[in-house]
Amino acid sequence: MTTIYNFGAGPACLPQEVLLQIKDDIPNWYEGMSVLEISHRLPIFMALIDTIEQNFRTLLSIPDEFAVLFMHGGARSQFAAVPLNLLKGAKTADYLVTGMWSALALEEAKKYCQPHCVASSQSQHYTAIPPEASWVFEKDAAYFHYTDNETVHGVEFLTAPNSKGKWLVSDMTSNILTKPLDFSRYGLIYASTQKNLGVAGMTLVIVRKTLLGHAHPFTPSTLNYELVAHSNSLLNTPSVFCWYVLGLVLKWTLKQGNIEKIANLCQQKADLVYHFIDSSDFYTNPISKESRSRVNMPFHLPTPALEESFLKQASEQGFKQLKGHKNIGGCRISLYNAMPLLGVEKLIDFMRAFERKH
Ligand code: PMP
């Protein structure tokens, strides 16, 4: 059978080792029961939750001033949870718009406040982070929201942006666990789990403890950070399977090395792709070099017909899910931690051969 390399943006590929372990565990994880069937109140499950939190803290060096929560509803629910919990009566918050996901976060926030758009690269089709000199801040903003990596447009912040002293609130759904973080700048970081953390169905929230306890009274209980923190993320029945897979993925991630080593490999894979695309006049990536994502790379071929044929042949040869997001078309490579270097090298060989032929 051809080896399959899955370059999908999410739900994304899992490490092979994790998939095999799941297969092994399904029939009997605990006393003859599968992990899909056990109570989240069993001591074995509680122990799993503790290990997961500890592993996150180790991998990202999360300081004690932060609570680590696991919530329902994906990252999009956080678009609402963030203003509901963090406005603390303020009428506005700063939002930097660098692609589809940060634009959607701002739209959702409009239900709860009058979010202030610091800057937007929409008129440049989100091909670069707007220059910092053009940013306009709102002095009464409760926080500064941005999307660290725009999964659809392929734009990423390599360092935390200037927020004029306001706590940074960041959507790191597609690049969590790919680099060390300077927590001193952050109030809150969130990421749903279907990219570097396992399967869809859960959202990681790392929140400064001093920000808890100020939710708007009409905040749904399941979106209230303080209630979730007090219940050890077990306010209601969690997705036990997501949690279990997250446990396996974190164990695997720890085996890959520390976060600096993981960041180096991430950069190495991205460099291979961009170096190849930049040396070709057949493939093009529209993003300005300083804003390019290390994990999601949209690209185009000279014509839509060639793109269609590329995607078909790539799939036949085992390179899956390279189609671009429906809103922008073209093709896209996603390189999360589970994608081995070998997969990237083989994809580039395929792309080179396709270019020569056409
Ligand atoms: N933010 C970013 C950066 C994303 O990539 C995604 C999903 N691809 C979302 C938010 C939405 O996540 P979810 O589907 O888990 O709500």
pLDDT tier for residue 2 given thresholds of 50, 70 and 90:
confident
Task: Look at residue 68 and tell me whether its pLDDT is greater than 80.
Answer: yes
- 166, 179, 195, 323: the catalytic one is 195
Same domain membership, residue 284 and residue 238? no
Measured by CA distance, the residue closest to atom 15 of ligand 1 is: 74
DSSP track, 27-64: T-SBTTB-TTSS-TTSHHHHHHHHHHHHHHHHHHT--T
Residue nearest to atom 5 of ligand 1 (CA): 151
Number of domains in the chain: 2
Ligand 1 center to 76 CA (angstroms): 6
Query: 74 alpha carbon to ligand 1 midpoint, in Å?
Result: 7
- Among 224, 255, 286, where does a domain finish? 255
Does the residue 11 lie in any domain? no
Do residues 239 and 312 share a domain? no
Answer yes or no: do 263 and 247 share one domain. no
Evaluate whether 195 touches 242 at the Cβ level (below 8 Å).
no
Residue 148 lies in a domain: yes
Domain identity same for 235 and 272 = no
How far apart (Å, rounded) are the C-alpha atoms in residues 103 and 338?
Answer: 28
Say yes or no to pLDDT of 62 above 80. Answer: yes
343-351 mean pLDDT: 98
Q: Does any domain span residue 208?
A: yes
Q: Domain for residue 181, yes or no?
A: yes
Are residues 278 and 135 part of one domain? no
* Residue 251 shares a structural domain with residue 283: no
156 and 40 co-located in one domain:
yes
Q: Is residue 171 annotated as a catalytic residue, yes or no?
A: yes
357 flagged as catalytic = no
Residue 158 is part of which domain span?
Answer: 19-255
Nearest residue CA, atom 12 of ligand 1? 75
Mean pLDDT, all residues of the chain: 97
107 pLDDT above the threshold of 90: yes
How much is the pTM?
0.98
Rounded distance between C-alpha atoms, residue 351 and residue 275, angstroms:
13
Q: What is the CATH number of the domain that holds 162?
A: 3.40.640.10
Hey, what amino acid is at 336? Y
CATH code of 343's domain:
3.90.1150.10
Residue closest via CA to ligand 1's atom 9 equals 75
Query: How far does the centroid of ligand 1 lie from the alpha carbon of residue 97, in Å?
Result: 15
Q: Verify that 317 and 243 share a domain, yes or no.
A: no
Query: What's the rounded Cα separation, in Å, for the pair 207 and 79?
Result: 14
Last residue of a domain, one of 235, 255, 275: 255
Indicate whether 250 and 264 sit together in one domain: no
Which ranges of 148-258 does DSSP label H, i.e. alpha helix?
Answer: 225-230, 240-256
